[in-house]
Chains A and B, each alone.
Chain A
Amino acid sequence: MNRPGLGRTGVVALRVVRQLKRDRRTIGLIVFAPIVLMILFGYALSGDMSGVHLGLVDGGGHDALRAHLVSIQDFDILRLGSESDAERLITEGQLDGAVVLGTDGVRVLLDASSLQIAGAIAAAVQAGVSREQAIQGTVGGLQGTENIINTRYIFGYDLKMMDTVGPAILGLVVFFFTFINAAIAFIRERSQGTLEKFMVSPLSRVEMVSGYVLGFSLFTILQSATTLFVVTALFGVPLQGSALTALAVVLLLGAGALVLGAFFSNFARSEFQVVQFIPLIITPQIVLCGIWWPLQSVPEFIRPFSYILPLTYAAHALRAVMLKGAGISEILYPDLLALGIFFLIFFAAATLMLRREVA
């Protein structure tokens, strides 16, 4: 009868250490991935925001509130002539919100599709009005801040967290699965020898990668249609624009995820190692794409990364289509253009890497 022994446990432990020692990537992952992720999460969750575009329609009065808003460094204030200008710019996505100062009170116009930014603007206005009232000595009197501030959401309905996050989740789901599946598929092409056989056939590398894009697109359509249905029908996320426009965005994102997966498959030797890409490739996109936290709350030195990640653009476009009813022409620039460029870059990279593999 074998009793559990320290000796044999030690043998197993030694073997594990030896194997890990030779797997430099895993060691790197164990050490650096948590550091990177904690930094990303830490900054993103710190709640600080910058680069919030706020319109200000100055109808007189409210000196203390105006001074307070202007003093907030995170707000880029744009002075406007009329409330209708403010409304238009918010609809076009140029402004995150606007404050209209008037003798009859303060009206706050907010873009409801990002709750965090709307919250930050509302909080700033509230603080400004409180300060104003403190100066006037009317704190806690009949005129509470609520009576002075009149808040209006430009998109006309009360959005919940799920409503603003839902469209982006649609993109995330497709990106995640397509990336992983594509990377695994290409690793299999290598390990089962089919890739080598392709190289000695009339099939060109471009044809091969294109074939994958085409084949996977069918599943992307199926996957995004299902996800779209669940997000809208089950969770009641609004779909103001066309479902086809949303699918077009997701297809382009999926194509980008596929070629990215194909490209990164060159750096993995097994399906197991593909899983290791999740914290490196997928998680940063989740943190930085503006789904959970607005881009404005991503610290400025990290923000450039946000703007090279495809999910950032897909999430932005999907929100515009689903929450604001945007059509193709309105999301063409920068979102679809960025997704298209991302796809082309990694399509080229993936095809070039196929050659290097065998040369």
Chain B
Amino acid sequence: MTKEQFKTKLRHLRYRGAKKANRSRGVDFLLGLFLAILGIFMILPIWYVIISAFKPMNEIFLFPPRLYVAHPTFDNFTQLMQILENMWVPFSRYLFNSVLVTVVATVGHVVVASLAAYPLAKHNFPGKNIISQIIVLALLFTTQVLYIPQYIISAKLHLINTYWSLILPVVQSTMGVFLMQQFMGQIPVSLLEAARIDGAGEFKIWWSVVMPSVKPAWLTVAIFAFQNIWNQNGNLYLYNESMKVLPSITSQVQAGGIARTGAASAVMLVLMIPPIVFFQCTQKQVIETMTTSGIKE
């Protein structure tokens, strides 16, 4: 298979049309209804955050609460700004910390995971199978489960109160290696052989042959890492106020009680926009990558 054929195959996979046959209209309708009800359940809380962010104070405390905004206002955002201005550390500092940690972790994870995935997918070496099996098993253990043990190790390595304590656990996550390895499995060996005959070394092949053809996979791995670290409040690891990240201010705003419902919604809205936009822009590539996510044995 040439590179072009490989790409066509991927494109073909991406746009498999719906398989309509032997469908009854009644069942179509019922399934659509079921989907719609569940969809409302999913979207309602998010919708509630969006409207609360734009509601003036008197509408927030209306009984019963409305599902729309009569007089949209930016008051909550102004109030949020005021709260943030009165904080000991300027808002820009939290933003800087969050962006720094997120960018380093996401880029680091994509590079480290794809570098490890290439030999696992395409080379033969002793220990390959056992490592692959450990990866599948380790998918079970997320940061939530490893919380305390990881904390103990980070403390022993004197990583507490450094950005690394947030970054490194994300960089090493197995999900990225697993997805990359699966996706790279589809790359035709002939493509790699051709590069080898041209005298390219393995690192060169990884960078200039493998990486360009697994673009969907690294976008997917990037979005997983991004959403993982962007949403972490880091409260356990960073106690120095000037090093804290954005989600940690959410709890500070929320701690102001019910009068801050509007401001709290505003901050939640601001925080949820980046991952949602990032995902929607890369959704096609994400789904394409997930096609190969199955566990085969």
- Do the two chains belong together in a single complex? no
